[in-house]
Amino acid sequence: MSQRVKQYWLVALMIALGLLAVVVVNGQMTGVRRWNPRRVPADTVFIGDRACGECHKKHFASYGKSGMAEAMEQVAGSKVLSQNPQLTMRVGPYTYEIKRNGKQSIYSVTNGKDTISFPIVYAFGQGRMGQTYVLERDGRFIESLVSFYNESKSLDFTIGAPRSEPKSLTDAVGRLLSAKEVSSCFSCHATGAVSGSQLRLEKFTHGVHCEACHGPGGPHVAAVKAGESPAQSIYNPGLLSGDELTQQFCASCHRGAEEFALLQSMEINNVRFQPYRIFHSKCYSDDRNISCTACHNPHEPLREDAAYYDKRCLECHTLRNKTAKAGDGKSCPVADKDCTSCHMPKIEIKAAHFKFTDHYIRVVKPGEKFPN
């Protein structure tokens, strides 16, 4: 059996076992090992973004300012905590304070007689909506009962936390996280913090960076230096089908249709989870190639201008009163710009102090009940 035939059957076997993503390049089939950002193999070694930036300078420069790259702040250099050096809140007999002290921020709760204080060890969230804090006690992690919210520049209950008076000072501090919850938080907000089933906090990168989505860069850099094909040594999510990218890859953190029952039970709060919301859209059911990256460039900060998204819509839909061509989506009889303002309304979640863009693309009717 020739070497080429052996390689073909090896690839075919690995595809059957679900270990490869198939890519066709110039008529030849190649493959890279499948990668799940939340299931990093125990033997994985990351080399860091700077190695990627040596060749991918444009992506490296723009991605550093993106929301995913800032999904977790280092407390010592936190913009949110530095710009809000003293935050307070009162809940019944309990008074909360987050106070900046040099490069530390101290989280304190008092009932007037006794006080419990912890240095904040991890700050989850870039602060665009808000930021939640993780404290540590005897090797266990606690999610802060109160979080910072950008709209009000103040503290309020953490999303999902009971909005009632705590029963004790210990309860007032926050919620003790299970090992599974800790792993889930770090795997989606950091790079290299979870390896296999183990938490590896002695060396990790705050935020979601290159290798979190593309896998370890060491073999890729070595292949490039050796003059070998670089495509076979790195994972490229952009080569996935729209459905795989949206409902499997991106949804591994942003949550998708596989969690249908859970997310539906959350009612209006599920508007935060874009893969789940877009799954209901008619345009998505008609064309599963409409993926997250059809509208969003993952290598740059989130675009806020409506005109940018108009262009994405018009790649399928025609302008108002224009004759549709074969294969074109229907034209809108109402307007030919600001598509998202009508078809992807902003939904306010009061507990989050934020308006989320609803990715359930539809004709929104005045006064309609939120479709969950």
pLDDT digits (tens, 9 = 90+) for 34-46: 799 889 999 899 9
Query: Within this chain, do residues 253 and 346 fall inside the same structural domain, yes or no?
Result: yes
- Is the pLDDT at 18 greater than 60? The verdict is no
Distance CA 224, CA 221 (A): 5
Query: Within this chain, do residues 171 and 302 fall inside the same structural domain, yes or no?
Result: no
Percent residues over pLDDT 90 in the chain: 75
Contact between residue 62 and residue 300 where contact means Cβ atoms under 8 Å apart:
yes
Q: What angle do CA 62, 240, 299 make, to 5 degrees?
A: 5
Residue 363 lies in a domain: no
Q: Which domain holds residue 81?
A: 72-177
Q: Residue 352's pLDDT is what?
A: 96
Q: Residue 33's pLDDT is what?
A: 58
pLDDT band at 231 (very low <50, low <70, confident <90, very high): confident
Q: Residue 13's pLDDT is what?
A: 39
Q: 46 vs 32, 41, 161, 231, 274, CA distance in Å?
A: 17, 11, 35, 18, 28
Distance CA 80, CA 117 (A): 20
Half-sphere exposure of 215 (CA within 13 A, CB side): 20
Q: Residue 29's pLDDT is what?
A: 30
Percent residues over pLDDT 70 in the chain: 88
Query: Within this chain, do residues 278 and 143 fall inside the same structural domain, yes or no?
Result: no
Contact between residue 124 and residue 185 where contact means Cβ atoms under 8 Å apart:
yes
pLDDT digits (tens, 9 = 90+) for 242-262: 999 999 999 999 999 999 999
Q: Residue 288's pLDDT is what?
A: 76
Q: Residue 333's pLDDT is what?
A: 82
Query: Within this chain, do residues 166 and 216 fall inside the same structural domain, yes or no?
Result: no
Query: Within this chain, do residues 267 and 317 fall inside the same structural domain, yes or no?
Result: yes
Q: Residue 323's pLDDT is what?
A: 57
- Is the pLDDT at 8 greater than 70? The verdict is no
**Average pLDDT of the residues in 13-22:** 39
Give the number of domains in the chain: 3
Taking Cα atoms as reference points, which of 246, 336, 366, 258 lies closest to residue 295? Answer: 246
pLDDT band at 67 (very low <50, low <70, confident <90, very high): very high
Task: Look up the pTM and report it.
Answer: 0.87
Query: Within this chain, do residues 340 and 264 fall inside the same structural domain, yes or no?
Result: yes
Q: Residue 318's pLDDT is what?
A: 76
**Average pLDDT of the residues in 44-66:** 94
Please state, rounded to an integer, the average pLDDT across all residues of the chain. Answer: 88
Q: Where are the alpha helices (DSSP H) in the chain?
A: 3-16, 49-53, 57-63, 79-83, 169-173, 179-189, 210-214, 218-225, 242-244, 251-254, 260-265, 274-279, 282-286, 306-313, 339-343
Residue 66: what residue type? S
DSSP class of residue 249 equals: I
Query: Within this chain, do residues 255 and 158 fall inside the same structural domain, yes or no?
Result: no
Distance CA 154, CA 81 (A): 11
Residue 331 lies in a domain: yes
**Average pLDDT of the residues in 104-108:** 98
Distance CA 213, CA 237 (A): 7
Distance CA 295, CA 303 (A): 9
Q: What angle do CA 143, 277, 299 make, to 5 degrees?
A: 75
Q: How many helices (H) and strands (E) does the chain have?
A: 15, 19
Tokens representing residue 312 in the block: 């994405």
Distance CA 92, CA 284 (A): 47
pLDDT digits (tens, 9 = 90+) for 157-207: 999 999 999 999 999 999 999 999 999 999 999 999 999 989 999 989 999
Residue 184 lies in a domain: no
pLDDT band at 21 (very low <50, low <70, confident <90, very high): very low
Contact between residue 182 and residue 11 where contact means Cβ atoms under 8 Å apart:
no
Q: Residue 328's pLDDT is what?
A: 60
Q: Residue 321's pLDDT is what?
A: 62
Q: 305 vs 66, 129, 278, 310, 337, CA distance in Å?
A: 16, 18, 20, 9, 11
Query: Within this chain, do residues 19 and 94 fall inside the same structural domain, yes or no?
Result: no
Distance of CA 164 to the CA centre of its chain: 29
Query: Within this chain, do residues 164 and 62 fall inside the same structural domain, yes or no?
Result: no
pLDDT digits (tens, 9 = 90+) for 247-306: 999 999 999 999 999 999 999 999 999 999 999 898 888 887 788 999 999 999 999 999
Per DSSP, the three-state class of 231 is helix
Q: Which residue has the tokens 């003059």?
A: 227
pLDDT band at 73 (very low <50, low <70, confident <90, very high): very high
Q: Residue 336's pLDDT is what?
A: 80
Residue 162 lies in a domain: yes
pLDDT band at 3 (very low <50, low <70, confident <90, very high): very low
| Beta strands 86-91 and 94-101, pairing class | antiparallel
- Is the pLDDT at 84 greater than 90? The verdict is yes
The shares of helix, strand and coil residues in the chain, as percent rounded to the nearest 5, are 35, 25, 45
pLDDT band at 11 (very low <50, low <70, confident <90, very high): very low
Distance CA 372, CA 363 (A): 15
Contact between residue 68 and residue 208 where contact means Cβ atoms under 8 Å apart:
yes
Q: Residue 325's pLDDT is what?
A: 55
pLDDT band at 142 (very low <50, low <70, confident <90, very high): very high
Per DSSP, the three-state class of 257 is helix
pLDDT band at 315 (very low <50, low <70, confident <90, very high): confident
pLDDT band at 320 (very low <50, low <70, confident <90, very high): low
Query: Within this chain, do residues 65 and 83 fall inside the same structural domain, yes or no?
Result: no
**Rg (alpha carbons) of the chain, rounded to whole number:** 23
Query: Within this chain, do residues 198 and 63 fall inside the same structural domain, yes or no?
Result: yes
